[in-house]
Amino acid sequence: MKIKTILTPVTCALLISFSAHAANADNYKNVINRTGAPQYMKDYDYDDHQHFNPFFDLGAWHGHLLPDGPNTMGGFPGVALLTEEYINFMASNFDRLTVWQDGKKVDFTLEAYSIPGALVQKLTAKRCASRNDSALRHAAHVTTGNQNHQQ
C-alpha cells in the first residue's frame, strides 16, 4: 500500500514534466542557428572559430546541421565529428531525399528549424501532394513520416 502512495505522485510528476517539455520546446525555435552546409573538413570563419553550430546531444561524438536551402534540403548536412577538442566535418551530406514522379524531380518547399533536443525539417510538394516530416533527435535517432494523397 505504501508503494502505491509513493508511486502515484512520482508518476504524475513525470507525466507533467514530459508534457511541459514538449509544450515549451516550441518557444525556443531557432534560438541557436543550426543551419549550414560545410565545404571543408575544418570549416572556420574569418576569426578561426567554427563556422557552424552542429547539433550534438546526450554526449554524442557526432553532430548534424539543418539544411540551409534547396541544395541541402532532404538531409541533415554536415556530419561533424568531435576529434579531441576540435570539430571536423566529414561531408556536406551523407544522404538526401529526392523524389521523382513521372520522370520529373519533385520540387519541395522547406521548413526547417531547431528546438531543444531536435532538428526538424518539413518538406511539402504541391504537385504530388506529398509531405515528408523528418526529425533528428538525440543525435542519432531519425524519425520520418510521409503523407501521400492522390489528386
pLDDT tens digits along 99-122: 888 888 888 888 999 998 888 988
The CATH number linked to 129 is: 2.70.98.50
Q: Examine residue 113 and state whether it is found in any structural domain, yes or no.
A: yes
pLDDT beyond 90 at 31 = yes
Q: Examine residue 116 and state whether it is found in any structural domain, yes or no.
A: yes
Grid coordinates representing 148? 501521400
What is the residue range of 121's domain?
A: 30-148
pLDDT band at residue 32 under the 50/70/90 scheme = very high
Task: Give the pTM.
Answer: 0.70
DSSP letter string, 94-141: S-----EETTEEPP-EEEEEEETTEEEEEEEETTTTEEEEEEEETTTE
Q: Examine residue 79 and state whether it is found in any structural domain, yes or no.
A: yes
Bigger pLDDT: 77 vs 137: 77
pLDDT beyond 80 at 133 = no
- Return d(Cα 142, Cα 132) in angstroms, integer: 13
pLDDT digits (tens, 9 = 90+) for 35-89: 998 888 887 888 888 889 898 877 778 889 999 988 888 888 888 888 877 888 8
Predicted local distance difference test score (pLDDT) of residue 7: 52
CA angle 124, 66, 57 (to 5 degrees): 125
Residue 78 contacts residue 37 (beta carbons within 8 Å):
yes
Q: Examine residue 8 and state whether it is found in any structural domain, yes or no.
A: no
Q: Examine residue 97 and state whether it is found in any structural domain, yes or no.
A: yes
Predicted local distance difference test score (pLDDT) of residue 139: 46
Q: DSSP class of residue 31? A: S
Q: Considering its fold, how many domains does the chain have in total? A: 1
Bigger pLDDT: 3 vs 51: 51
Q: Examine residue 20 and state whether it is found in any structural domain, yes or no.
A: no
Sign of the alpha-carbon torsion through 132, 123, 22, 142: positive
pLDDT band at residue 144 under the 50/70/90 scheme = low
Q: Examine residue 140 and state whether it is found in any structural domain, yes or no.
A: yes
Q: Examine residue 72 and state whether it is found in any structural domain, yes or no.
A: yes
